[in-house]
Amino acid sequence: MNYKTVGYALLLSLSATACSNKLNVSKVLADAEQQTKVMLAEIPKAKASRSAVTTGATPGSAGADLVSPRTLDTMGRLRLVTSRDWTSGFFPGVLWFLNEGTGKNEWKTEAESYTSYIEKEKTNGTTHDMGFKVYCSFGTGYRLTNDQHYKDVIIQSAKTLSTRFKPSVGTLRSWDHSRDKWGFPVIIDNMMNLELLFEATRLTGDSSFHKIAVSHANTTMKHHFRDDYSSYHVVDYDTITGVPKHKHTHQGYSHSSAWSRGQAWALYGYTMCYRFTKDPAYLRQAEGVAKFILNHPNLPKDLVPYWDFNAPNIPNEPRDASAAALNASALYELGLYSSNGKYYKQTADKILQSLTKSYRSPIGENKGWLLLHSTGSKPSNSEVDVPLSYADYYYLEALLRSKKLKEGKQLW
């Protein structure tokens, strides 16, 4: 089913969703276990066949340095990535979530293996994606195991990430590529990497990480947002004056549009910043972003956004289930802090129901991915209407958050 026909199927299922019972989290988790077993069997096959499309794999390595699944390619083959790829930490995180949700040791064993493949990234200072890679894997593992080695990896990773902070700008640098185009690019996605820094201060008592995270969040709040709380994707700063030179998009429809996953990174990012700082400005920011997303006339009734809120051919545009999964997870947390908490929680429940009912892969298909219908980068026609590892990660995180809230437990 492609994205043009998905709309009709969704309409049909929507009425069912509206009257369906509450989500059966145990059943959804059991389904996720089955699918992930399929994935675990597919990974070695994809490595061995070398038919996997590789991202930066060493030529001739026969897939040895491919460590994590990222998506399906256009031929439906499993695409694996090396630890350097920004998505490498999500699959280990999925394995940790299965361990957390089921209590089964077999998932811990798998999670430990896949997490270990990411460790060498702790000294890779060429990217801002440290949080995605190390926090989703080692960070989730540390929360569940208290393993002291994991703690050391988190702290080293925070030290490495901190080297990308530029005091004259007040932010971490996002990308090193496209130097002909941008001087000091910062993308809204970078808000997600602050969790690693906040946590490193909590673990060490060294406030320098926390200060960098706060500076990045404040500078981004000042320059990345429009009056309606929608966010630009890329802000390019002058490194001497710290003044923004360009406000661009990279994965969205246009410089002035609202790329859906970017809005989701912002919602999640400022909610998480409030958790660590209790600064009311971050709470207001998260609430403003939530209002933009949830009141947008182009948000479909099933609450799974098109890839960009201003995509030109809505409703004939692909969805982005990864943005919906992120929104659900963030709204569960925002619901704990906001006077609008009940509404945010109910909305998160609806998003989860919608994803579960209409966006999951049938068991045994799609190489073991959980969710279908995400979009990586529509402008470059890359990963359009496909499964993505981060959609699965935030979907499971949201599912576990809903379970913990029901059981009266803390979210982390």
Which of 170/376 has CB closer to ligand GLY? 376
Kindly tell me which residue out of 160, 251, 271, 353 binds ligand GLY, with binding defined by CB under 6 A: 251
In angstroms, the Cα distances linking 229 to 264, 290, 313, 336 are 12, 9, 23, 21
- The whole-angstrom separation of Cα 412 and Cα 409 is 9
Q: Which of residues 82-121 bind ligand GLY (CB under 6 A)?
A: 86
Which of 327/353 has CB closer to ligand GLY? 327
Kindly tell me which residue out of 261, 275, 360, 373 binds ligand GLY, with binding defined by CB under 6 A: 261
Smallest separation, CB 131 to ligand GLY (Å): 10
Smallest separation, CB 190 to ligand GLY (Å): 8
Beta carbons within 10 angstroms of residue 371's beta carbon: 28
For residue 176, which amino acid is it? D
Smallest separation, CB 283 to ligand GLY (Å): 24
State the DSSP H helix or E strand holding residue 13, giving kind and residue range, or none if neither: helix 3-19
- The whole-angstrom separation of Cα 55 and Cα 112 is 23
* Strand segments (E) across 196-276: 234-237, 244-248
Residue 189 as a binder of ligand GLY (CB under 6 A): the answer is yes
**Residue nearest ligand GLY, Cβ-based:** 189
Which of 288/376 has CB closer to ligand GLY? 376
Is 206 part of the annotated catalytic residue set?
no
Residue 140 as a binder of ligand GLY (CB under 6 A): the answer is no
Binding string to ligand GLY for residues 167 to 186, with x set by CB under 6 A, is what? --------------------
Q: Which of residues 370-409 bind ligand GLY (CB under 6 A)?
A: 376
Helix 321-337 and helix 389-406, axial crossing angle in degrees, nearest 10: 30
Give the count of residues interacting with ligand GLY (CB under 6 A). 5
Q: Where do we find the tokens 């794999």?
A: 57
- The whole-angstrom separation of Cα 401 and Cα 1 is 30
What does the angle CA 76 – CA 80 – CA 84 come to, to the nearest 5 degrees?
Answer: 145
Q: Which of 65, 189, 320, 349 is catalytic?
A: 189
State the DSSP H helix or E strand holding residue 269, giving kind and residue range, or none if neither: helix 260-277
Is 129 part of the annotated catalytic residue set?
yes
Which of 150/182 has CB closer to ligand GLY? 182
Smallest separation, CB 314 to ligand GLY (Å): 20
Q: Is 111 helix (H, G, I), strand (E, B) or coil?
A: helix
Which of 86/274 has CB closer to ligand GLY? 86
Q: Is 377 helix (H, G, I), strand (E, B) or coil?
A: strand
For residue 307, which amino acid is it? W
Smallest separation, CB 327 to ligand GLY (Å): 13
Smallest separation, CB 111 to ligand GLY (Å): 22
Q: Which of 85, 129, 302, 385 is catalytic?
A: 129
Q: Counting Cβ atoms within 10 Å, is residue 56 exposed (0-12), middle (13-18) or buried (19+)?
A: exposed
The contact set with ligand GLY (CB under 6 A) reads 86, 189, 251, 261, 376
Active site residues: 129, 189
